[in-house]
Amino acid sequence: MTDPERDPHNGGHVTEDDLILLQYGEAPHPQAIDAHLRVCPACRAAQAEIRATLEAVNAADAGEVPDRAAGYGAQVWARIEPRLSGGRLAWLRLPAMPSRRWALAAVLIVMLLAGFLAGRLSRTEPEMPSGPISQEARDRILLLAMTGHLERAQAMLAEIANLNGVAHDAPQAPGSPPGVDISSDRDRAADLVAAGRIYRHSASRAGETGLELLLDELERILTDIAHAPSEITRDELHAIQKRIEDRGILLKIRAIGSQVRQREKERRAYTGRIAI
């Protein structure tokens, strides 16, 4: 305490900062501050107010932090254990993610499986094996689902990239920049973010680095759109469009999507040759 006005030795009031440190037992000269407090009603009142504030924090906290069940630690372990262990199937296990989204993820996976099986049956291909679904089939389901996801993201970003920033029907106030309603794009972006995370984790575990990086980049831009206001200014729209353009994200989606489709085509050709 070198500032004379802040130094109790000089008869100045104790600063709020020092009173806070005193409260936490970290004041540099606690005896000097205590001595000042004994003779200074103003500083004593300030100290009492700080103490009451911190007690109020405790009171607010007491009912605020929700309890976890006794088995919470075991639950945490069950959720993270698949991500800690290695092994060939590890990447297919669902990642630790918000439990609110587990339901969505489960629904998504069931839909993917149902869609895949329906497609197989409708093509009058050989009878489905009755055993558990194979590793290859799982890979294909995820790969095909990712292709669809990328196509939806591409379509949405292309729409944003082509928005002209002219206000919708509302008359423009003189001198104010027109707003652009992106509320529907925002909702679509939020859906794509939730699904994209599942695919990104899967790609990561499959060692599909290019796909993972693309999905990560895509997630960032989609998250920004999902959290944007429903109506953005023309400048904000241009900033998003510039980001899409600068990063060449549409081009990358097209390139990766094309690679995925090509791999699927080659696989089918190979499977066909084996069948012959």
Partner 1 sequence: MSRMGGDEASFVARARTGDAEAFRVLVEEHSHRLFRLAYRIAGNEQDAEDIVQETFIKAHRSLARYDDRATFGAWLTRIASNQAVDVVRARRRGGERVEAQDPDDPDPVDRLAETDAGPERRLLSVEVTRRVSHAMSRLTPNERAAFVLRHHEERSIAEIGAMLRLSENATKQCIFRAVRKMREALRPLAAHGWPERGARES
Residues that bind partner 1 (CB under 8 A): 16-17, 20-21, 24, 26, 45, 48-57, 59-61, 63-66, 68, 72-74, 76-77, 79-81, 83-85, 96-100, 223-224, 226-229
Q: Which is nearer to partner 1, 105 or 145 (CB)?
A: 105
The three-class DSSP label of residue 71 is coil
Query: How far is Cα 157 from Cα 195, in angstroms, rounded to an integer?
Result: 16
Question: Do residues 189 and 225 touch, judged by C-beta distance below 8 A?
Answer: yes
CB 95 within 8 A of CB 83: yes
Q: Kindly state the smallest distance separating residue 24's Cβ from partner 1, in Å.
A: 6
Task: Give the span between the Cα atoms of 125 and 275, in whole angstroms.
Answer: 11
Nearest to 215 by CA among 249, 190, 248: 249
Of 192, 199, 196, nearest to 94 by C-alpha is: 199
Q: Least separation, in Å, of the C-beta of 65 and partner 1?
A: 5
Q: Minimum distance from CB of 28 to partner 1 (Å)?
A: 11
For residues 36 and 143, which CB has a smaller minimum distance to partner 1 in the complex? Answer: 36
Q: Which of residues 77 and 270 has its CB atom nearest to partner 1 in the complex?
A: 77
Q: How far is the CB of 20 from partner 1 (least distance, A)?
A: 5
- Of the pair 5, 17, the CB lying nearest partner 1 is at 17
Q: Which is nearer to partner 1, 143 or 157 (CB)?
A: 157
Render the burial of 87-121: b for 16+ CB within 10 Å, e for the rest: eeeebbebbeeeeeeeeebeebeeebeeebeeeee
Nearer to partner 1, 227 or 265 (CB): 227
Least Cβ distance, residue 103 to partner 1 (angstroms): 13
Minimum CB separation of residue 100 from partner 1 in Å reads 6
